[in-house]
Amino acid sequence: MNVLAIGCHPDDLEIACGGTLRKYVEQGADVFMCHVANGNMGHAEILPEPLAILRSAESENAGNVIGAKQVFNLDVGDLLVDRFDNHIVDAVADVIRYVKPDVIITHNDKDYMQDHVETNRLAFNGSFVSSVKHKTTQYDVYEEFVPIFYMDTLAGVDFIPTHYVNISDQIDIKLKALACHESQIKWMMEHDNIDFLDMVKTCSRYRGYQCGVAYAEGYRPCTVYPRMTTKHLLP
Ligand SMILES: [Zn+2]
């Protein structure tokens, strides 16, 4: 089974679906992680260019902790993620054509910042484009309408899951992967007084309470034609 998770910033997947991705790996799936934006604006002191390099390395480290086969960095600047930019759409389509996923996980269609919402649309549109035979990109057509799951919003705001994944055995690795994003965690602690690891752990605990386990991650399926499936695709 091939799993493709498409997040916006280098740490978004670890926050919302890191436990699920690790669980897929433990069950023998090939997991691929992709971040569209390079996170170059995610710090008030480190300048964009060195920050993008630093954050790429952090996301590689986190991908290794999770056990991902590959981490794709589409290297779009923060605040420039755009569903109507054909270069970005094609880049997303090419990741999908290369990975040939059985399931895609991405952001919810409503979240706290525009780049996240744009990434949701890019995953959706990129998946459609990847299936169009005469649309030429770097890789060959992947003629599948892949089921898509939307992951939790930041801090779970205005997101009611319909599906839960029990990550009680994966919570420690999820937090270890998130901790690889040192530039973000340190920054948020020092300047916003937010303990990001605690926040993410608490949200996973909260989702766990909702479904009767210690820790969980919540999802909603993308319910449009023809992405419905009879298969159980979450681990
Ligand atoms: Zn983000």
pLDDT tens digits, 102-128: 999 999 999 999 999 999 999 999 999
For the stretch 52-93, pLDDT in tens is: 999 999 999 999 999 999 999 999 999 999 999 999 999 999
Write out the two tokens for 203: 């949200």
Q: Which residues pair with 103 in a beta bridge?
A: 3
Dihedrals phi, psi of 27, to nearest 5 degrees:
-90, 5
Dihedrals phi, psi of 36, to nearest 5 degrees:
-75, -50
**Would the pTM count as exceeding 0.95?**
yes
Q: Is 224 a residue whose pLDDT tops 90?
A: yes
Better-scored residue on pLDDT, 192 or 223: 223
CA-CA distance, 29 to 209, in Å (whole number)? Answer: 27
Amino acid, single-letter form, for residue 16:
A
CA-CA distance, 44 to 48, in Å (whole number)? Answer: 9
Sheet of 216-221, strands arranged across: 70-76, 30-37, 2-7, 103-106, 148-151, 216-221, 163-166
Distances (CA, A) of 121 to 49, 87, 126: 26, 14, 8
CATH architecture label of 2-221: 3-Layer(aba) Sandwich (3.40)
Tell me how far the alpha carbon of residue 4 lies from the centroid of ligand 1, in angstroms: 17
Interval 133-142 mean pLDDT: 96
Place of tokens 């992947």: 142
Query: 21: closest CA among 12, 11, 31, 8?
Result: 31
Q: How confident is the model at residue 145 (pLDDT cuts 50, 70, 90)?
A: very high
Tell me how far the alpha carbon of residue 8 lies from the centroid of ligand 1, in angstroms: 5
Residue 188 confidence (pLDDT)? 87
Tell me how far the alpha carbon of residue 159 lies from the centroid of ligand 1, in angstroms: 16
Query: 109: closest CA among 56, 167, 149, 64?
Result: 149
Tell me how far the alpha carbon of residue 9 lies from the centroid of ligand 1, in angstroms: 4
CA-CA distance, 147 to 163, in Å (whole number)? Answer: 14
Tell me how far the alpha carbon of residue 221 lies from the centroid of ligand 1, in angstroms: 20
CA-CA distance, 164 to 2, in Å (whole number)? Answer: 20
Residue 13 confidence (pLDDT)? 98
Q: Is 191 a residue whose pLDDT tops 90?
A: no
Tell me how far the alpha carbon of residue 34 lies from the centroid of ligand 1, in angstroms: 12
Place of tokens 């159980």: 232
Q: How confident is the model at residue 146 (pLDDT cuts 50, 70, 90)?
A: very high
Better-scored residue on pLDDT, 30 or 187: 30
Write out the two tokens for 21: 């991705």
Tell me how far the alpha carbon of residue 230 lies from the centroid of ligand 1, in angstroms: 31
Write out the two tokens for 9: 């910033």
DSSP category for residue 159 = -
Residue 63 confidence (pLDDT)? 98
Q: Which residues of 151-168 are buried (b: 16+ CB within 10 A; e: fewer)?
A: bbbbebeebebebbbbbe
Spans of all domains in the chain: 2-221
